[in-house]
Chain A
Amino acid sequence: MTPLAKLLEAALFASERPIPTAELAALDPESSPAAVAMAIDELREHYDVEGHGVELVDVGGGWQILTRPEFTEAIERAQLQSRPQRLSGAALETLAIIAYRQPIGRVEIEEIRGVNIGSTLKMLLERGLIEITGRAEGLGRPLLYGTTTAFLEHFALRHLEELPHADELAIALRAEPKSV
């Protein structure tokens, strides 16, 4: 490995959070952004090709060294770490709507899901996956919700644009029904 790749590896190992490419570049002012990008690739290939128990992943706006999925159960069994609780179907539905329609109020979400979502919203707020982004105009000035960085990290998304665009989905949102 090149010295730069080793430096990045050391920094990623030491960090508790994902490190964005810009921050990695700042580690060595002598190196050009292109050289840093190459060093990131080098490190990622190093883990992949030589077969390591960890890999370099781009998550939630940065790079992070993560364990490979095949070792998760063994690690959990040994109680070294445990996986966070899975989100319920209700929570995922609510998140999906907020991700696409933010900022969006509770009533609009309930209209799409067809159910009351009071407790789901509370749970998502508590887990930091969504936040209150403001208030809508109009009657009662209802609260508006949006997704957070924790949401991106939870789904290992770099940014919201990584989700498929509405028109890439099989059915376009708000599609006009065929006239009968």
Chain B
Amino acid sequence: MTSVLLPESERTAFVVELDHFSGPLDLLLTLIREEQVEITDIPIARIVEQFLTRIHGLGLGAAAEYLEMAARLLRIKAQMLLPRRPDEEGWEDPRAELVRRLLEYQQMREVVDLLERLGEERRNRFARGWQAPAPEATVESPLALSLPELLGAVDRVLRVVRDPDMHDVVPRGLDIDAAIAAVRALLALRSSAFWSDIVRQDAEPWHILSTLLALLELARRGEVRLSQSGPFAQVEIARDAASEAA
């Protein structure tokens, strides 16, 4: 008999192929179909072997639900092997419960096929008056970004910059105060602006960084409000109405 337990080395390689089977009953039905046998008269020994081989092969051996089914199948197999008199009264086929569940499951799969078809038909038709779900209020929520995402964003900003000519590096301090003054001056003229209005396409890194820090500083002081209509959308820089009123 095939062992359900995988060798130590393979147990870590746990890959569940969820796309293939939605559960042990699904796998069992597939095997029964492949073997072309009747659900009501399952050759249990053969199916058990197949089942164990497959869950081993799919790396499903560690999934409790599949193991439970494997144990159930083995128990049925053992019960089938027990000797019985042909005229024995009250003998119930050990497979009966499993057969009932399989039939029930198979019927449910028929409904699933139907729902899948109907859903796909509806999905391929658009209605009028549909509105994109309102963008989440990103402004109010705390910044939820991982470090790699943040670095990725910085990278994107810096990539806008043209390739710098190679020359000796002259340390140049960031001029945040000047950038703050520039942003303030712009927002004095108009109530809101985009990043691209403040930083020119060919701006140099020190300028970009100064502006970025200036914006963060202004946002911290509550002078401006930074908002985005969606992920990766243009950042809108607006005068903060609340601080203005104050």
Selected from A72, A92, A112, A175, the residue in CB contact (under 8 A) with B125 is A72
What residue in chain A is nearest B130 (Cβ atoms)? A81
Interface size class of A (residues with CB under 8 A): 35 or more
Give the residues in chain B near A17, CB-CB below 8 Å. 129
B111 touches A100 (CB 8 A): yes
Most chain B CB neighbours (cut-off 10 Å) among A97, A169, A177: A177
Selected from A16, A69, A89, A178, the residue in CB contact (under 8 A) with B22 is A89
Selected from B40, B101, B104, B128, the residue in CB contact (under 8 A) with A178 is B40
A172 to chain B, nearest CB (A): 8
The answer to whether residues A169 and B107 also contact, given A89-B112, A115-B23, A156-B118 and a CB cut-off of 8 A, is yes
A33 to chain B, nearest CB (A): 25
B129 touches A156 (CB 8 A): no
**Interface residue? A163 (CB, 8 A):** yes
* Chain B interface main SS type: helix
A68 touches B114 (CB 8 A): no
Q: Among B3-11, B92-100, B170-178, B223-231, which stretch is in contact with chain A?
A: B92-100
Selected from A15, A93, A173, A179, the residue in CB contact (under 8 A) with B109 is A93
The answer to whether residues A180 and B41 also contact, given A93-B112, A113-B25, A155-B119 and a CB cut-off of 8 A, is yes
**Interface residue? B110 (CB, 8 A):** yes
**Interface residue? A57 (CB, 8 A):** yes
What residue in chain B is nearest A153 (Cβ atoms)? B122
A170 touches B110 (CB 8 A): yes
Interface membership of chain B positions 1-25, coded 1 if the CB is closer than 8 angstroms to chain A and 0 otherwise? 0000000000000000010001111
Give the residues in chain A near B104, CB-CB below 8 Å. 112, 173-174
Most chain B CB neighbours (cut-off 10 Å) among A13, A15, A64, A96: A96
B128 touches A93 (CB 8 A): no
| A156–B69 CA distance with the chains assembled, in angstroms | 36
B22 touches A171 (CB 8 A): no
A175 to chain B, nearest CB (A): 5
What residue in chain B is nearest A100 (Cβ atoms)? B111
The answer to whether residues A16 and B128 also contact, given A93-B22, A115-B65, A177-B100 and a CB cut-off of 8 A, is yes
A177 touches B103 (CB 8 A): yes
Chain B stretch 15-51: residues in CB contact (< 8 A) with chain A: 18, 22-26, 40-41
| A66–B125 CA distance with the chains assembled, in angstroms | 6
Give the residues in chain A near B126, CB-CB below 8 Å. 66-67, 72, 75, 81
**Interface residue? A65 (CB, 8 A):** yes
Give the residues in chain A near B81, CB-CB below 8 Å. none
A96 touches B40 (CB 8 A): no
Chain B residues packing against A (C-beta within 8 Å): 18, 22-26, 40-41, 65, 69, 93, 95-96, 99-101, 103-112, 114-116, 118-131
Chain A residues packing against B (C-beta within 8 Å): 13, 15-17, 55, 57, 59, 64-69, 72, 75, 81, 83-84, 86-87, 89-90, 92-93, 95-97, 99-100, 111-116, 153-157, 163-164, 166, 169-180
Given contacts A16-B130, A113-B22, 4 further A-B contacts (CB under 8 A): A17-B129, A92-B119, A99-B115, A177-B96
A-B contacts, 15 listed (Cβ < 8 Å): A72-B124, A89-B112, A93-B23, A93-B109, A95-B115, A112-B105, A113-B22, A115-B22, A116-B65, A155-B122, A164-B114, A170-B110, A171-B106, A176-B100, A178-B40
Query: 4 smallest A-B Cβ distances: which pairs?
Result: A16-B129, A66-B125, A96-B111, A115-B23
